[in-house]
Amino acid sequence: MNTNPTPIGRALLSVSDKHGIVALAKELVSLDIEILSTGGTAAALRDAGIPVIPVEQYTQVPEMMDGRVKTMHPKITGGILGLRDRHAADAGKHDIPWIDLVVCNLYPFAKTIADPKVSREDAIEQIDIGGPTMVRSAAKNYGWTTILTSAEDYPDLVAALHDHHAVPFEFRRKMAAKAFAHTATYDALIMNYLNEETFPAELSLGFTLHTDTRQHTEAADRLLRYGENPHQKAAVYKALGAPGTQDPFSLLDCPVLQGKQLSFNNLGDTYGAIDTLREFDRTACVVVKHATPCGVAVADSPLEALEKAFEADKTSAFGGIITMNSECDEQLAAYLSPIFFEVLAAPSFTPGALSILGKKKNLRVLQTGPLPPLSDRMTGRFIGNDLLLQNKDNKVVKKEDLKIVTKRVPSDSEIGDLLFAWKVVKHVKSNAIVTAFGHTTYGIGGGQVSRVDATQIAISKSGGPRPMVLASDAFFPFRDSIDALRGSGVTAIIQPGGSIRDQEVIAACDEAGIAMVFTGIRSFLHG
């Protein structure tokens, strides 16, 4: 492979995103570089007074089939792909001059399918064919040919040409890698648009590097400050997908109204808090610390929900994430003013609230907009190089789904609290126990390898003894957890059932006068 700097004598410019293309073309012309171009790009260059040779004139083959065939010609592909040290004779024989630079980005397929009204036929017409062929050809031949797919790289190319009158090998290699990423992401987007299988035999996922544009402009600054810990590097990537294939809510679409860049932990914790919040259609507040809810409340007013959620475990809430599903006004901001926390997320903020919160310079304030209900999206995690994928645990348990298994029947108010606690326990890492009363969590015990330990932690945080209900994300394998509840004030339990010792657990509840219902489904959360 040629690793020497390569001069540029001829360039092919064909872009959908025309940002910066005129300025680049002017620089190329000033360096006596011949420009070939297609369709709209050629028109834009001509309008700017830049000399350009249309591709159809260059190949002597007109554009045809409603523009579907423009650049697929040996004179184009061969000029890009040919190895200068091996294929010069073939190129001369077939009158194929070299094309040393290709500047190309693809039809705006993502923008097209973002419109939910777009027809399948119109979407298909935005699948680029000639563009990827040119991009991949130039990228494959990076030993000789330079490929650019992003306007952000135009200045670096111009600088190299002015400084060295040629393009360095390392720049060509870097641009080739970026070009293949560009086409791979594009193809993944198309695959996910056309795919109707939940688990296809081959899976491609498209992501683009996300940056906080308020504070970061240079590519090198797009990484997060660090990962879970300061010695770890990290970045966040935004998923590309067709409408209906993704969660309608994206944390990365939410404006950050004030504060520092969201950290790796901020992003994970805030998303987890909002995920929990979306369980509720009434006014609610969720407080999260280290990816685990520590206080959740549903109430008649936003202030009441905030107060109850924060007071549920204000020690754990210190330095945490607070999320609400109603507007943050001056009253809420004043309540929060003396409290230290990292992130506040709400659908909207009044000017007065922002004025108060603005005094907390390090607080990240995130505007979510109205939150959609939980969607039937996919979720997963990496296990080394491999990906575990499943549909989201969005099963809604209703009153009619409950099976009463004890002598004592829970009251209507207890059932309301049980269903509330069940919505919360789904979002606590297993083994998970949640106690609650009045649609407010009292104690949360999670991430334990023993269910009785999780039970004891939840009870210890509940401020009892006092009346409350309890939710368990999985069945009780033994009666020891029920025995640990004696004297705590727990009056009713919701759990999946299904243990071989269910009868022992039911008997323990009957002995203690506790009502218990089975959901019939488990809600483990392992990570």
Nearest Cα to Cα of residue 99 among 59, 61, 63: 59
Cβ contacts of residue 154 below 8 Å, gap of 6+? 20, 23, 24, 103, 148
Residues with a catalytic annotation lie at 140, 290
For residues 345 and 270, the answer to whether their CB atoms sit within 8 Å is: yes
* Residues 11/103, Cβ–Cβ less than 8 Å: yes
State the maximum Cα–Cα separation within the chain, in Å, rounded to a whole number.
Answer: 96
- DSSP-derived letter for residue 86 is T
Contact 36, 58 (CB under 8 A): yes
Asked if omega into 465 is within 30° of 0 (cis), the reply is: yes
Compute the Cα dihedral for 460, 466, 470, 475 and give only its sign.
positive
Strands of the 10-15 sheet, one edge to the other: 53-54, 34-37, 10-15, 101-105, 146-148
DSSP 15-26: ESS-TTHHHHHH
Q: CB of 371 within 8 A of CB of 278?
A: yes
Q: In angstroms, rounded to a whole number, what is the distance separating the alpha carbons of residues 289 and 279?
A: 18
Round to whole Å and give the CA distance between 201 and 369: 37
> Counting Cβ atoms within 10 Å, is residue 150 exposed (0-12), middle (13-18) or buried (19+)?
middle
Return the structure tokens found at 233: 């590097």
